[in-house]
Structure 1
């Protein structure tokens, strides 16, 4: 069941195309990773989803409602965390958390609120003007996950958090997923996306260039291999699918295209395999392949 559906979304600012025919959807109980470099169009897309910007062309439906015309109703069921949180300087963190929850129209779940404040190691009694960037993020995250939202829209949500707090954030996302909630996670921290997301969409220059599960996308990446053999390998550099080859005596390090792995291993075997270290392709490998030698531009 689709909670969020984006169809042929185009956004122009004058002659500039910030978004050009973007298509994706987020299903119920799914964590969808929305990745791309600064300037690719992630935040512009999210502003359209939130009803802040009006699409030039195309449609955005959330819970079957129009993101622009029904924004007020939709916001009752969503929670949003931006990458840079601006707060009222003279209010305390606790007061802002309560205000955010009430603005959504939700009930203040004090038990959940207190649990999250403790897990994020956050002091809600201080004035917001004293908070670091990481603590400002904690205000938004505690408010979001205290709410009984059906869709969480998270735009670079862990910006400024230390690794321990990133772990707490990841636990909160998985808890929301297990409760049947949906999450749109925009992030440039690829390890975070790998851990959390069921499917991923890669946006470049305002266009979705790949979408699918991580296993579906990994055919585009290369596996890193480090091998040692009894005899020096002959002809490795002539094989199809070998990249960044480095050979020294009986050892070799290289990348191999996934579809050529079988051929490469059959070539190596007769030389007497002593040691084999394999690092699986990461989302970062996939990401860099798409952006390699390409000039990136657009609106963030």
Structure 2
């Protein structure tokens, strides 16, 4: 039998430390996300989830530890990596004088383009009026703009930090279907969420962190 080549993980973090003054936000965090999986990233507020995602985005630099993202370094390779990933935060701020559609197209151009058919399908599925100015949008509609921009791109990796914040239950269900579609296309998803039903439906594995350290990793069945 020929040896099977193991695919490199989409995200590999080892011994990650980040402090802010006397506060140790990350205290030796280990995290590995396999290519093509949906990985839940769970923990109480202040556990270090958002700090981790900001380090993955190259917005913060760690104090120590190693981080590899799609085979690159999030800090030194940020420009190239940002063309290959999409990020959706839990609190979306948009350009107030642009319409939702203009914002989606602008964000898409920053990533190298968008599939118009996919974009239009997502606009319909998420029930967004793209003609309205962003300043008129509710929190939920601002969230939809960010989701559409991310999902309509050809990003290999989706970094989602409480992505359904502000969405009603019906739209949460639509979001879940959209993520399942993305995984069928071979994309990788890191999902930070407080919604257990969302995690149970979507995630292949989860990592639970507390006080900046991973305390459990595995499938939901393994962790029950």
Question: Secondary structure at 2:66's aligned position in 1?
Answer: strand
Which whole-Å deviations, capped at 9, do the CAs of 1:229-272 have from their partners, x for residues lacking one?
A: xxxxxxxxxxxxxxxxxxxxxxxxxxxxxxxxxxxxxxxxxxxx
Q: TM-score, normalised by structure 2?
A: 0.95
The residue aligned with 1:8 is 15
Q: CA deviation at 1:191?
A: 1.2
1:184 has 2:190 as partner: yes
Query: Structure 1 runs of 4+ off > 4 angstroms?
Result: none
For residues 276-295 of structure 1, what are the structure 2 equivalents within 5 Å? none
The residue aligned with 1:195 is 201
Q: TM-score, normalised by structure 1?
A: 0.71
The residue aligned with 1:212 is 218
For residues 1-300 of structure 1, what are the structure 2 equivalents within 5 Å? 1=7, 2-105=9-112, 107-218=113-224
Q: CA deviation at 1:15?
A: 2.3
How many residues end up aligned between the 2 structures? 217
Q: CA deviation at 1:36?
A: 0.9
Which whole-Å deviations, capped at 9, do the CAs of 1:19-61 have from their partners, x for residues lacking one?
A: 0111011111100000111111110110000000000001111
For structure 2, the residue ranges without an aligned partner over 5 or more in a row are: 1-6
Question: Secondary structure at 2:10's aligned position in 1?
Answer: strand
Distance in 2 of aligned mates of 1:215 and 1:108: 37
Distance in 2 of aligned mates of 1:148 and 1:183: 13
Which whole-Å deviations, capped at 9, do the CAs of 1:202-230 have from their partners, x for residues lacking one?
A: 11111111111111111xxxxxxxxxxxx
Root mean square deviation, CA, Å? 0.7
- Between structure 1 and structure 2, the one with the greater Rg is 1
The residue aligned with 2:3 is none
CA contact (8 A) 2:99 2:133 kept: yes
Distance in 2 of aligned mates of 1:53 and 1:62: 14
Which whole-Å deviations, capped at 9, do the CAs of 1:155-201 have from their partners, x for residues lacking one?
A: 00000001111011101111111111100000011111111000000
Higher relative contact order (CA 8 A, sep 6+): 2
For structure 1, the residue ranges without an aligned partner over 5 or more in a row are: 219-300
